[in-house]
Amino acid sequence: MRLGVTFRNYPLYLSQDDLTKHFLTVGQSGSGKTTLFYSLMDEIEKPFWAFDLKQDYRHVDDVLVLPWTELRFNPLKPPEGVSPGRWAQVFSEVFSHATSLLSGSKNHLLKKIIEVYRLYNLFNRVSGPYPSFHELELLVKSEGINYVRKQADYRDTLLNRLEAMNLVAGTVFECSQGYSIQKLLQEDVVFEFDGLIRDVQNFLMEILFAYVYEYRLAQNHRNQGLNHVFFLDEGKRVFSVYKERQDASGIPEIDELTAKMREFGEGLVVADQEASKLTDSIKANTYTKALLPTAGRKEFQAMTEAMNLSERQAEFAEELDTGEAVVQVGSDSPVPVRLRNYQVEKTVSDRELEKEQRSRWEGLSYEQRKTTKRFNDRIAPGRTEEVPEKEIPEDPTEIKLSSEAERLLEDVVENPFRPLTERYQQFSSSYKGNKAKNQLVDQGVVVERKVKNGENRKLLQLTEKGRDYVEDQLDLEPKHRGRGGIVHRYWQHFIRDAFEEAGWDAFLEKFDADVYVNMGNNELAVEVAMGDNPREIKHVEKHLEKGFTVWIACRNKEIQEGLKQRIEERGLDPDRVVFRLFQDFD
């Protein structure tokens, strides 16, 4: 693979098999890391997977792009050839590292995985359904009340992580068996995790690493040269020096995998802006290193030490320009290089991505969630999606909230759209308000959401666990007007208020419209569109059938253009459909 030319105009090549020993590049934003990734992707003759957190790699030619909303993956299904007992241990290690669980909660997780496997009879059969994340959450929820305080803490901490993961990315895990990993390993795949919370992103990346390694190990794919390559930008998200140094959690499983993967032909290309925040393991276990222009002395020194540059070489590296790097392969002397300038036009919108990839997504098969009789009898006799009241622990320490946190929670119920900064004014200091908010978030009672309306504001949305607490402990009614999440409901109310201020009669959820407006001689149905989704067009068709004029209020212009195209493709009357942006109602 041609990386570029040296400062003496000699071409610099890298053997593809050297990628099995891993490649690390560090440089500031705009220094050329993404361009280097594009170049390597173009040169590599083996399949690769890229974990994309910023929609950078959907623009590469002939790749399968899987936004997380289209991904179906059951991390509780062991890789082919891997025993349930072994996979339970690997899974608990990876999940704990990604979500910062310490050893007590990690051990509790391992016990619950073994238990759910037994309820699915995985230790005594060859085939059948596998439990999903949702079943694991239900099992943890159903724990009896006879447990000691520490076990209760472990249980509550674990349940907090599981609930958050299923709340945010439940569609990913909504399967008994996801897409075939073996088949995906034969393709160039970009996994887009943009829009997921950090813990979920980290977990998905780490568990996919572990899944492929365990599959290779079970199939004995040893010493075959390069088989496959992982690309990971923002490497500190997975290879975090802070987690590596947590004595209580032990050496992260991902650090162990980094050293082991090379024997099975799995290459790893990692990039980041901050070398000081990367694990010592990833810096020590990468055969090829590339230092691009960096921001900050601390990051520069961390990389020059990892490459063992002399004082004179480091002085030279300080003068690097965009697209230039110092490259070191193994123990060879470092070489200054002008990297190959591989240009990619970033033109693929969400709408275009769906049109290009839809047939490929539909060609991927998976199995829906299934349960076993033993599981149903254990969790909820006669029901599979809820836990009977008698099974829910009555221990009042299940959720532990201070009086300040409860006061903030009451305000969330009574004033759902009040921005967080205003909520803090009821406390003696912002510090106390923030401490109360963090307690609600950590206990899984609320989640934070952002709304951009002139300025960014943070809203708090009740979770199911939070609604239960509000009803049972605070004796409040957590009902709300409007549908969907807190951000969708915020805009419903905002748009209704705008029409009322203009003198019209406006209502929420009347005639199945997000906002219904009676303008005397005209009836208007307003749909609040948070995304370019086909269901928005179905709503429009129903409103048009009733004789309404329809306004579609869109979050941004990209969503607006995508829905306009859908309207045209459906052949709907454009004179009766009006498009507006949220900002138009201000």
Residue 524 belongs to a domain with what CATH number? 3.40.1350.10
Q: Which residue has the tokens 């990993």?
A: 181
Are 375 and 428 in the same domain? Answer: no
For residue 578, is it within any domain? yes
- 184, part of any domain: no
- Rounded CA gap, 500 and 487, in Å? 20
| Confidence grade of residue 238 (pLDDT, cut at 50, 70, 90) | confident
Q: If you average pLDDT over residues 301-324, what whole number do you get? A: 92
- Can you read off the two tokens belonging to residue 268? 């790893």
Output the pLDDT for position 24: 95
Per the model's pLDDT, the better-predicted residue between 209 and 457 turns out to be: 209
Number of domains, the chain: 4
Same domain, 102 and 136: yes
3-state secondary structure of 499: helix
Label residue 22 by pLDDT band (50, 70, 90). Answer: very high
322, 350, 367 - which closes a domain: 367
Q: Give the separation between CA 469 and CA 396, rounded to whole angstroms.
A: 11
Model-level pTM greater than 0.75?
no
Q: pLDDT value at position 581?
A: 92
The pLDDT of residue 253 is: 67
Contacts 24+ apart (CB under 8 A), 60-65: 60/188, 60/190, 60/344, 62/188, 63/187, 63/188, 63/189, 63/190, 64/184, 64/187, 64/188, 64/189, 64/190, 64/357, 64/360, 65/189, 65/190, 65/192, 65/353, 65/357
Indicate whether 388 pLDDT > 50.
no
Clarify whether residues 502 and 580 are in a common domain: yes
Q: Do 465 and 419 fall into the same domain?
A: yes
Q: Confidence class of residue 373 from pLDDT cuts 50, 70 and 90?
A: confident
Each residue's pLDDT tens digit, 2-20: 999 999 999 999 999 999 9
**Mean per-residue pLDDT, 276-303:** 89
pLDDT computed for residue 385 by the predictor: 39
Per the structure, the complete domain to which residue 271 belongs is given by: 1-68+191-367
Question: Do residues 155 and 230 share a domain?
Answer: no
Domain membership flag for residue 467: yes
- Exposed / middle / buried, residue 312 (Cβ in 10 Å: 0-12, 13-18, 19+): exposed
- State phi, psi for 274 to the nearest 5 degrees: -125, 95
| 326 and 219, same domain (yes or no) | yes
| 27 and 160 inside one domain | no
Residue 183 lies in a domain: no
At residue 442, the pLDDT reads: 82
* Percentage of the residues of the chain whose pLDDT score is greater than 90: 51
Q: In the block, which residue shows the tokens 């393991």?
A: 281
What distance in Å separates the CA atoms of residue 534 and residue 358, rounded to the nearest whole number? 13
Q: pLDDT value at position 295? A: 84
pLDDT of residue 447 exceeding 70, the answer is: yes
H or E, element range at 6: strand 2-6
Are 310 and 359 contained in the same domain? Answer: yes
Backbone phi and psi for residue 529, each to the nearest 5 degrees, phi listed first: -105, 110
Same domain, 333 and 239: yes
Query: Average of pLDDT values for 544-573?
Result: 89
CATH number at residue 332: 3.40.50.300
Summarised one tens digit per residue, pLDDT across range 136-189 is 999 998 875 444 456 677 888 898 899 888 888 878 999 999 999 999 999 999
What does the pLDDT read at residue 394?
36
Predicted local confidence at residue 353, as pLDDT? 93
Let me know if residue 166 belongs to a domain: yes
What's at 570, amino acid-wise? R
Give the pLDDT of residue 183. Answer: 94
Q: Name 461's Cβ contacts closer than 8 Å, sequence gap at least 6.
A: 416, 446, 447, 448, 449, 485, 486
pLDDT value, residue 279: 86
Residue 186 belongs to some domain of the structure = no
Q: With bands split at pLDDT 50, 70 and 90, how would you rate the model's confidence at 384?
A: very low
Same domain, 226 and 314: yes
According to the per-residue pLDDT averaged within each range, which of 25-39, 246-260, 395-409 is highest?
25-39
Same domain, 144 and 87: yes
pLDDT band at 515 (very low <50, low <70, confident <90, very high): very high
pLDDT at residue 431 greater than cutoff 90: no
Same domain membership, residue 206 and residue 59 = yes
Residue 541 in domain: yes
> Does the residue 185 lie in any domain?
no
